[in-house]
Amino acid sequence: MFGQIRELVQHTVPVLRLSCLSAQAGKLDFRLWPIMERYESKEVEFKWQKIWADNSAFSTVREDGRDKYYVLEMFPYPSGKIHMGHVRNYAIGDVVSRFFTMKGKNVLHPMGWDSFGLPAENAAIQHGIHPAEWTYKNIDYMKKQLKRLGLSYDWEREVTTCAPEYYRWNQWFFLKFMEKGMAYKKLSTVNWCPACSTVLANEQVEGGLCWRCESTVEEKELEQWFLKITDYGEELLEHTRKLPGWPERVLLMQRNWVGKSTGAEVVFKVEGADETIKVFTTRPDTLYGATFMSLAPEHPVIEKITAPDRLRGVREFISRVKAGGKKGRGEAEKEGVFTGAFSTNPLTGAKIPVYVANFVLMEYGTGAVMAVPAHDQRDFEFAKKYNLPVTVVINPPKIILDPAAMIAAYQDEGTMVNSGPFDGMKNTEAMVKIAELLEERGVGKRSVSYRLRDWGISRQRYWGCPIPVIYCGACGAVPVPYKDLPVILPEDVSITGKGMSPLLLSSFVDTKCPRCGKGARRETDTMDTFVDSSWYFLRYMSPQNNNEPFDKKEASYWMPVDQYIGGIEHAVLHLLYARFFTKAVRDLGLIQADEPFKNLLTQGMVCKEILRCPGHGYLLPEEAEGGRCRECGKPVTVGPTEKMSKSKKNTVDPDRIIETYGADTTRLFSLFAAPPQKDLDWNEDGVEGSFRFLGRVWRLVSENADILSGFDFKHDKPLEGFLRRIHRQTHSTIKKVTQDIEERFHFNTAISSIMELVNSLYQWEGTKQGALEREVFREAVEAVVLLLSPFAPHISEELWQRLGNPTPLYSTPWPVFDPDAVRSEEVTVVVQVNGKVRAKVSVPADAGKEYVEGVVMKEQLVAKWVAAKEIRTTVYVPGRIFNIVVQ
By CB under 7 A, what part of segment 686-745 binds RNA? 686, 688-690, 692-693, 695-696, 699, 739
Long-range contacts of 471-474 (CB under 8 A, 24+ apart): 471/520, 471/521, 471/522, 471/523, 472/513, 472/515, 472/516, 472/518, 472/520, 473/518, 473/520, 474/513, 474/516, 474/518
Within its chain, how far is the Cα of 870 from the centroid? 59
Q: Which is nearer to RNA, 236 or 591 (CB)?
A: 236
Identified binder of RNA from the candidate list 74, 182, 318, 369, rule CB under 7 A: 369
| Interface pick for RNA out of 628, 634, 717, 840 (rule CB under 7 A) | 840
Nearest to 654 by CA among 67, 87, 203, 2: 87
Residues 517-576 that bind RNA (CB under 7 A): 568, 571-572
Q: Regarding beta strands 260-270 and 198-200, do their DSSP bridges make them parallel or antiparallel, or are they unpaired?
A: unpaired
Window 571-610: residues binding RNA (CB under 7 A): 571-572
Report d(CA 275, CA 269) in Å as an integer. Answer: 6
Contact between 616 and RNA (CB under 7 A)?
Answer: no
| Options 136-144, 587-595, 785-793, 832-840: segment touching RNA (CB under 7 A) | 832-840
Within a 10 A sphere around the Cβ of 554, how many other Cβ atoms?
Answer: 17
Q: Which of 378, 426, 552, 574 binds RNA (CB under 7 A)?
A: 378
* DSSP secondary structure letter of residue 12: H
**Under rule CB under 7 A, which residues in 40-59 are in contact with RNA?**
none
Total site size for RNA, rule CB under 7 A: 86
Rounded (10°) CA dihedral 584, 588, 589, 591: -40
CA distances (Å), 414 to each of 87, 371, 392, 404, in order?
Answer: 56, 19, 11, 19
- Residue 316 C-alpha from the chain's centroid: 44
- 16 or 434: CB nearest RNA: 434
- Report the amino acid identity of residue 184: Y
User: 450 forms bridges with which residues in the sheet?
Assistant: 260
Tell me how far, at minimum, the Cβ of 199 lies from RNA, in Å: 18
CB of 23 to RNA, least distance (A): 34
Minimum CB separation from RNA for residue 327, in Å? Answer: 9
Of the pair 465, 726, the CB lying nearest RNA is at: 726
Among residue numbers 329 through 348, which ones bind RNA (CB under 7 A)? Answer: 329-334
Touching RNA, residues 162-181 (CB under 7 A)? none
Among 68, 451, 521, 630, binds RNA (CB under 7 A): 451
Q: Mark 61-91 as b/e (b = at least 16 C-beta within 10 Å).
A: ebeeeeebbbbbbbbbbbbeebbbbbbbbbb
CB of residue 360 to RNA, shortest distance in Å: 4
CB of 545 to RNA, least distance (A): 36
Report the residue count for the chain.
887
Give the DSSP letter string of 785-805: HHHHTTTSHHHHHHHHHHTT-
Q: Nearer Cβ to RNA, position 159 or 296?
A: 296
DSSP for 701-769?
HHTTHHHHSSS-----S---HHHHHHHHHHHHHHHHHHHIIIII--HHHHHHHHHHHHHHHHT--S-S-
- Give yes or no for residue 835 binding RNA (CB under 7 A): yes
752 binds RNA (CB under 7 A): yes
The whole-angstrom separation of Cα 301 and Cα 318 is 13
Calpha distance 58→243 (Å, rounded): 29
Task: Using only the alpha carbons of the chain, give its radius of gyration.
Answer: 35
Name the minimum Å distance from CB 772 to RNA: 22
Closer to RNA by CB, 626 or 718: give it.
626
C-beta of 131: minimal distance to RNA in Å? 28
CB of 221 to RNA, least distance (A): 18
Selected from 2, 836, 842, 867, the binder of RNA by CB under 7 A is 836
Choice between 835 and 848, CB closer to RNA:
835
Closer Cβ to RNA, 67 or 703, answer by number: 703
Q: Are 785 and 815 in contact (CB under 8 A)?
A: no
Among 93, 367, 468, 793, binds RNA (CB under 7 A): 367
- Beta carbon nearer to RNA, 545 or 760: 760
Q: Give me the least distance between CB of 738 and RNA, in Å please.
A: 12
C-beta closer to RNA: residue 76 or 325? 325
639 binds RNA (CB under 7 A): no
Site string for RNA, 287-316 (x = CB under 7 A): ---------x--------------------
For 701, residues 6+ apart whose C-beta sits below 8 A from its C-beta are 708, 781, 785, 799, 802, 803
Near RNA by CB under 7 A, which window of 456-464, 649-657, 830-838, 842-850? 830-838
What is the smallest separation between the CB atom of 641 and RNA, expressed in angstroms? 7
Tell whether residue 383 is a contact of RNA (CB under 7 A): no
- Residue 740 burial (CB count, 10 A): 19
| Least Cβ distance, residue 609 to RNA (angstroms) | 9
- Region binding RNA by CB under 7 A among candidate stretches 159-167, 475-483, 612-620, 747-755: 747-755
Among 474, 488, 516, 875, binds RNA (CB under 7 A): 875
DSSP 423: T
Q: Scanning residues 646 to 685, which ones bind RNA (CB under 7 A)?
A: 672-675, 678-681, 683, 685
- Does position 768 bind RNA by CB under 7 A? no
Closer of 348 and 752 to RNA (Cβ) = 752
| Dihedral angle sign, alpha carbons of residues 607, 609, 614, 615 | negative
The DSSP element (H or E) to which 223 belongs, if any, is strand 218-227
The SS3 of residue 566 is strand
How far, in whole angstroms, is CA 198 from its chain's centroid?
A: 29
Residue 609 vs 818, nearer CB to RNA: 609
Q: Can you tell me which of 15, 35, 500, 837 binds RNA, judged by CB under 7 A?
A: 837
Q: Which of these segments, 421-429, 547-555, 558-566, 831-839, binds RNA (CB under 7 A)?
A: 831-839
The reply on whether position 219 binds RNA by CB under 7 A is: no
> In angstroms, how far is CA 512 from the centroid of its own chain?
43
Examine residue 871 and tell whether it contacts RNA (CB under 7 A): no
**For the packed helices 793-802 and 771-788, what is the interaxial angle rounded to 10 degrees?**
160
Is residue 887 part of the contact set for RNA (CB under 7 A)?
no
Binding RNA (rule: CB under 7 A), the pick from 107, 227, 360, 513 is 360
Using the rule CB under 7 A, give the single segment among 6-14, 27-35, 622-630, 757-765 that binds RNA: 757-765
CA gap 226, 454 in Å, rounded: 6
Contact call for residues 266 and 284 (beta carbons, < 8 A): yes
Enumerate the β-bridge partners of residue 295. 356, 368
Which one among 861, 863, 869, 871 touches RNA, defined by CB under 7 A? 861
In the bound complex, what is the minimum distance in angstroms from residue 229's beta carbon to RNA? 14
The sign one gets for the Cα dihedral 754, 755, 758, 764 is negative
Is 290 or 527 the residue whose CB approaches RNA more closely? 290
Site for RNA, residues 245 to 264, rule: CB under 7 A: 248-249, 252-253, 256-257, 259, 261, 263
- Helix then strand count (H, E) for the chain reads 29, 37
Decide whether 458 or 670 has the Cβ nearer to RNA.
670
CB closer to RNA out of 634 and 872: 872
d(Cα 17, Cα 52) in Å, to the nearest integer? Answer: 13
